Amino acid sequence: SAAKYRERERERDRERERERERERDRERERERHHHKRREAEAASRRSYSSSQSSRAPSIEDDEDGHLIYHHGDILQDRYKVMATLGEGTFGKVVKVKDLQTEHVIALKIIKNVEKYREAAKLEINALDKIAEKDPEGKNLCVKMLDWFDYHGHMCIAFEMLGLSVFDFLKDNNYQPYTLEQVRHISYQLCYAVKFLHDNKMTHTDLKPENILFVDSDYEITYNSKKKRDVRRVKSSDVRLIDFGSATFDHEHHSTIVSTRHYRAPEVILELGWSHPCDVWSIGCIIFELYLGITLFQTHDNREHLAMMERILGTIPYRMARKSKTKYFYHGKLDWDEKSSAGRYVRENCKPLHRYQTVDDDDHRQLFDMISRMLEYDPAERITLAEALRHPFYEKIQTVQRLGSSSTERSHSLSR
């Protein structure tokens, strides 16, 4: 069934995380000295006392480096553990009560492992910059409330949010979002990431897992066409999270960035990247929200490029020629259409416009915008400032519109 197929697709989630880990590890070796400098910057911004040396005997880690904690534990004399919200390669996210404010918040507890500790310091550095530029959080990036080093575990406290747009989709049997929800969610995503770009940062890891609903409460409606109940989120307000890979324009740029499915062609071809690689990821995300399926479902560079050509047409000769990678032969993608992989791509991919489910102005505008975000040449790709002015967003309701003059109005009306 479709749901089973999608579950299978997503079983590869962990695999893609592991693949990315390996890519990152190779990178990290080359980046050691850059990290040292950045670490010093992050550390000096706020003085923190590392309690690594005077570790209390009762504090233990498991074999993977996760902190061992129990319900009711109090960290830093302030944060009372309530429940585990989730975990990743980096560590765990825990629901805690802040005993100073009585608020329930999310605490990201990083593994007691050097490379994750370093990455967390970079994330704190990026979140600090965001807070400095946008103290009120008007630009829809998650708000960092506090951070500290707990016996070698970097901990970052965040405002509590709901499910990710990915988890909501999965829990809803991959029933896609409505066009109006796609419009509102993607508008906010463009707005948040444009703020990063305006402040000389690239997120580099945009994916549905990193876009969280502020509140994922839903109502259940019966879909007569599908003959089943579907969940509809009550409010499509979202926030952007996970700045652990965010890169400042002036910093060293790793060769490989992004989670596989959302990775831009210039990254795969190792041609260098900047803000436009985020725009490509956003195009892939919007497609996924609209259809409930991943646009590029693959784990291999050559197959990924073949899928791009099937969906978006031939990769420009100038990009193929400039790339030092082994994927082209005389400027053409070296791909065997007759192989089983070739058949898989032919049967599972089709030209972009053929994925459009309804032929009206709204849907045509949506696909026009996606196709501009999926322009091969990053120099030709639409910018987020341009995307926010695209006809697709002319229909954004007044209460949902963001920006200097209307922000206050939207907050008063949407509550």
Can you give the pLDDT at residue 11?
61
Query: Do 155 and 236 belong together in one domain?
Result: no
Rounded to whole angstroms, the Cα distance separating 163 from 367 reads 26
Rounded to whole angstroms, the Cα distance separating 54 from 38 reads 25
Can you give the pLDDT at residue 403?
80
Residue 138 domain boundaries: 61-159
Going through 99-152 in order, the beta strands assigned E by DSSP cover 104-110, 144-150
Give the chain's domain count.
Answer: 2
Can you give the pLDDT at residue 13?
63
Query: Do 147 and 227 belong together in one domain?
Result: no
CATH number of residue 76's parent domain: 3.30.200.20
| Residue 375: φ, ψ to 5° | -70, 130
Identify the bridge partners of residue 95 per DSSP, sorted by sequence position. 83, 106
**Ranges of the chain with pLDDT below 70:** 1-57, 404-415
Cα angle vertex 245, ends 292, 400, to 5°?
50
CB 55 within 8 A of CB 151: yes
Domain endpoint, select from 159, 190, 212: 159
Can you give the pLDDT at residue 57?
57
Asked if residue 216 belongs to a domain, the reply is: yes
Domain endpoint, select from 121, 139, 159: 159
Rounded to whole angstroms, the Cα distance separating 286 from 290 reads 6
331-373 pLDDT, tens digit each: 999 999 999 999 999 999 999 999 999 999 999 999 999 999 9
Asked if residue 126 belongs to a domain, the reply is: yes
Buried/exposed code over 23-55 (b: 16+ C-beta within 10 A; e: otherwise): ebeeebeeeeeebeebeeebeeeeeeeebeeee
Asked if residue 396 belongs to a domain, the reply is: yes
Can you give the pLDDT at residue 19?
67
Asked if residue 50 belongs to a domain, the reply is: no
Residue 376, number of CB atoms within 10 A of its CB:
21
Query: Do 291 and 171 belong together in one domain?
Result: yes
111-136 pLDDT, tens digit each: 999 999 999 999 999 999 999 999 99
Enumerate the active-site residues: 205
Rounded to whole angstroms, the Cα distance separating 197 from 411 reads 24
CATH number of residue 259's parent domain: 1.10.510.10
Query: Do 133 and 154 belong together in one domain?
Result: yes
Query: Do 96 and 227 belong together in one domain?
Result: no
Query: Do 118 and 171 belong together in one domain?
Result: no
Query: Do 386 and 255 belong together in one domain?
Result: yes
Q: Is 108 annotated as a binding residue?
A: yes
